[in-house]
Each structure stands twice: as structure tokens, then as C-alpha cells.
């Protein structure tokens, strides 16, 4: 940085600081205090009723590669004369076919996981609906008579503790 530029910049900053009156500084302090006292932000997944499911993405991947497989092999069979240079279509079709099988194999455990989540959803939802979240305090609590076993009425819970209670009721376990 050229020395003239640095000198001018520091002079400008010094002049700006001198021009700041007490009212301007008070406004800045008030703005800083408002930012510092802003409400805490809790991500939605911290209060989730159930784990998310990735089954649709896996299914779409399997279908996509299945279509590529069928298309490549059909073009290879019908539109080429099976010469050595035409084997690129055969290789693409085989690779897409393997990827399609891979996605289908991934889909089986994901489907079982989804069924487990769906089976536990009514119990988890019954607990989840009774919880009250306070945005100001970033806590969850249950009112008297609505709390699950082992939780005192009005006992403050962090979102993570609430999520653990809900997911335990749904029997989702650690693996989900």
C-alpha cells in the first residue's frame, strides 16, 4: 500500500473519530447491545420429531442409472454394427447398470430405516406435540399434566434434551 494512501486513510479515520459526538457513540452502543441481546437461533432439526429420510434421493438415483443403462444398451444393440469402436456404449451401459444395482442395494436398508421411523412416529408425535418451546430462552418445557414420565412440570430442557426424549419415545435409537 502506498504511503500517501495509508497516511490519507489514517487521517480520514482520525477525523471521523473526532467528528463522532456523544449521541453518535450512544447510537452505536445501543445497536451493539441490541445485536448482543438478540434471540438465540435454534435450527429446526434440533426440535425435529423424527429423523429425516433419504429414500427418495436413493430411488431417484437408481431410476436415473437404470434409464441410462437401458438407453445405452438399446442404442448399442439397435444402432451399431457391434464393431470394436462401438464398445464405449456397452461400457457406459454396464457402468450405469452397476451403479443402478448399487443404488438399489442402498435402498433396502434405507427403506427398513424409514419403516422403523414410521412405526415410531405416533409415539414420538404424542410427546412432541405436548412440548412448548420458548424462543426467548431457547428452552422446551411441558406444562403440568402433559409431561412425559420422569420430567417435572415446567422443567427447562435444552432442544437436544427434548429431541432425545421425543426420539426415545419413538424408539428411533442411535443409528437413525
- The vertex-72 CA angle with 67 and 74, nearest 5°, equals 95
pLDDT in tens, 82-98: 666 667 777 777 888 88
Domain ranges of the chain: 3-36, 44-169
Which pLDDT band, with edges at 50, 70 and 90, does 19 fall under? low
pTM exceeds 0.75 for this model:
no
Amino acid at each position: 500500500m502506498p504511503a500517501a494512501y495509508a497516511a490519507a486513510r489514517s487521517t480520514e479515520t482520525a477525523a471521523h473519530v473526532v467528528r463522532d459526538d456523544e449521541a453518535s457513540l450512544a447510537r452505536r452502543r445501543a445497536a451493539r447491545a441490541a445485536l448482543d441481546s438478540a434471540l438465540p437461533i435454534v435450527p429446526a432439526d434440533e426440535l425435529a420429531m423424527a429423523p429425516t429420510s433419504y429414500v427418495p434421493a436413493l430411488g431417484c438415483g437408481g431410476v436415473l442409472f437404470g434409464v441410462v443403462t437401458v438407453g445405452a444398451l438399446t442404442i448399442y444393440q439397435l444402432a451399431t454394427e457391434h464393431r470394436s469402436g462401438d464398445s464405449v456404449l456397452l461400457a457406459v451401459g454396464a457402468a450405469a447398470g452397476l451403479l443402478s444395482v448399487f443404488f438399489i442395494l442402498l435402498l433396502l436398508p434405507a427403506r427398513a430405516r424409514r419403516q422403523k421411523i414410521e412405526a415410531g412416529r405416533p409415539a414420538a408425535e404424542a410427546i412432541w406435540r405436548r412440548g412448548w418451546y420458548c424462543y426467548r430462552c431457547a428452552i422446551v418445557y411441558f406444562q403440568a399434566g402433559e409431561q412425559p414420565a420422569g420430567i417435572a412440570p415446567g422443567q427447562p430442557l435444552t432442544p437436544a434434551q427434548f429431541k432425545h426424549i421425543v426420539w426415545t419415545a419413538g424408539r428411533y435409537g442411535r443409528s437413525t
